[in-house]
Amino acid sequence: MSNTELGSYYFHQGTNFRAYEYLGCSLSMKDGKYEYTFRTWAPNAKSVGLISDFSGWHRAVPFSRVTDNGIWELKYLSDRSLELSPYKFRIKSRKGTHDKGDPYARFSRGGADGASLIFTDKSFKWEDKRWLEHRKKTISSDGKYYISAPINIYEMHFGSFMRHEEDNRYYSYSELADILPSYLKKLGYTHVEFLPLQEHPFDGSWGYQVCSFYAPTSRFGTPNEFRHLINSLHKAGIGVIMDWVPAHFPKDEWGLYEFDGTPLYEYQGKDRMESRSWGTRFFDLGREEIQSFLISNALYFFREFHIDGLRVDAVASMIYLDYDRDPGEWHPNHLGTNENLEATAFLRKLNSAIFGEFPDALMIAEESGSFGGITKPVDMGGLGFNMKWNMGWANDFYAYVKTDPIYRKYHHKALNFPLMYAFTEKYCMPISHDEVVHGKGSFVNKMFGSLEDKFAQARASLLLMMTYPGKKMLFMGTEYAQFREWDFDNSLEWFMLEYPNHKAFREYVAALNFFYLDHSELWDIDFDEDGFRWLLADEADKNVVAYRRFNKKGEYLIVAINFSGGTQTVRIPTEKGVRLEAKFDTGRLAPEHKDIKISKKGSEYSAELVLSPFSGVIYKKYSSKKRIKI
């Protein structure tokens, strides 16, 4: 077979993981002329034509059907370069004529028009070799423990992180490349996670309704300018995670919706086709060509943009047949269960392909159900992700901090129950965009009580999140306690840093982040019970928890947090000959906590801790080092 025939064969087999090199638009030179090869998959089309700036929008240049399974091809010769020229595919079917963007376009002008843009520029030069070597060393397993490295993620929505004050205009990829790396580095973050940046028509979808999956959105610049941003972040030692949406796509006319006049990329059956809540179409994940499309797309961003990971959105909507459906609206699989077997098989195939080529990638699942084995390796029967958002912890904890401290004793399980399942999956502890919008309140405003108490509880809450097992994530604006809910259509309220409380809060977050980075006890063993021991799990009446975090050397930190509105005195078990020193606190500790002496009763040793209202402290075995006081 020729390379072209192989490309087609493997595409239809669901194993062409470089489908973007076969389909879409590619460039070669022929007799001094520019030869552009356009290919698309439209098995139910009567005809396919090219309409464009360079060939005319009203007269379609016809494609030829080159495979029985629906690949159409056009070779277009030009005397000049057509780089950045807009084009579409005019598809005629039994239902009429539709002008579609190229599903494999590497650039698009988006919006309501959605014309694809020819982009063949391969001139970008990467300068991130040092980062990629670092990634290979840190995102790994030492045999027993996986990812013994700090991961502290700053989640952000590109379009509302920062806007130009004079006209509310977006900052570009290039402009943020001059700002974002140093900001994240100074605050102690290891990674940034972007809400979806593939081309999407509707700003209000926050990027989650993608029409052009291979095209970084043109809102902020060109693909190479996006590469420049990633390159700048890598040079600063910041990893890049992209939010990725393989579950569904919108019904915009120019997108994948009924691409050849019939459901093609989407499920055909009414019981699986559409999301009631989102108004979008679900990908037909059992179809081989869709597998080639999506897995190639994931690998495209790893290969061509050097991303470090994908956060896979809405996994629950993929793996449950009854997701967002009432009884009678869905059909069980042949085993009689609600598992979408095609979807789980696809996710295993996806993760196997990613880790086969990029063993140091991060594949993070946003999965809100109780599906077992999300982060278990594929060869052990799992879905193969290497992290999962701990949404159960987040939901329970937010309900807890909203509660009047007088009644928190009845909800103490929000603090101790997460450790009942903490090591069943490899968790990321998320304070995400989903929880600071739609009337849910900003993070600091979720806290009960007065303004002063809100800030104190927010500090204590972040101390808990940063010291519980699991990797970390914080949504933008939370680092300086923005009070207004997140608004996708406007900039964060950076002016709030002019107020002392907010400036001090960001300084606290930075200090906490750097304490986390500097202490392996907080990240060396995140996914195994060897890294955690309760000291006080059931002090519900006092709203207190205390625990140890261990590193691989057996060294430990002691964390104690008081979520009550009053001072609490507790005793924690300890060892003979040990003295404790407070190394980090939330800023409201009694002075005597600098040096904690141990007392003995019978054969048992213990330390008495006096915790101020809404405060937390991290202790270490006695040393001469001074504690950090915020």
Q: How far is the C-alpha of 123 from the C-alpha of 303, rounded, in Å?
A: 15
Question: Region 257-272: what's the mean pLDDT?
Answer: 96
Helix (H) or strand (E) holding 559: strand 556-562
pLDDT tens across 139-165, in order? Answer: 987 778 999 999 999 999 999 999 999
Confidence of residue 596 (pLDDT cuts 50, 70, 90): confident
Confidence of residue 628 (pLDDT cuts 50, 70, 90): very low
DSSP assignment of 523-555 equals TTTSSSGGGEEEEEEEEGGGTEEEEEEE-TTS-
pLDDT at 491 over 60: yes
Q: Are 192 and 156 in contact (CB under 8 A)?
A: yes
Q: How far is the C-alpha of 316 from the C-alpha of 339, rounded, in Å?
A: 10
Q: Which of 216, 369, 388 is nearest to 307 (CA)?
A: 216
For residue 366, indicate whether it is catalytic: yes
pLDDT tens across 286-324, in order? Answer: 999 999 999 999 999 999 999 999 999 999 999 999 999
pLDDT at 11 over 90: yes
Question: Region 525-549: what's the mean pLDDT?
Answer: 98
pLDDT at 347 over 90: yes
pLDDT at 465 over 90: yes
> What structural domains does the chain harbor?
3-117 (2.60.40.10), 150-518 (3.20.20.80), 529-621 (2.60.40.1180)
Q: Which of 360, 366, 524, 585 is catalytic?
A: 366
Helix (H) or strand (E) holding 10: helix 3-13
Q: How far is the C-alpha of 467 from the C-alpha of 494, rounded, in Å?
A: 28
End-to-end CA distance of the chain: 68
pTM above 0.85, yes or no: yes
pLDDT at 1 over 70: no
Q: How far is the C-alpha of 574 from the C-alpha of 591, rounded, in Å?
A: 21
Angle at 236 between CA 234 and CA 237, to 5 degrees: 65
CA dihedral 473, 474, 479, 482 (to 10 degrees): -170
Q: Which of 289, 313, 425, 524 is catalytic?
A: 313
Residue tagged 């990674």 (tokens): 191
Q: For residue 81, what pLDDT is reported?
A: 98
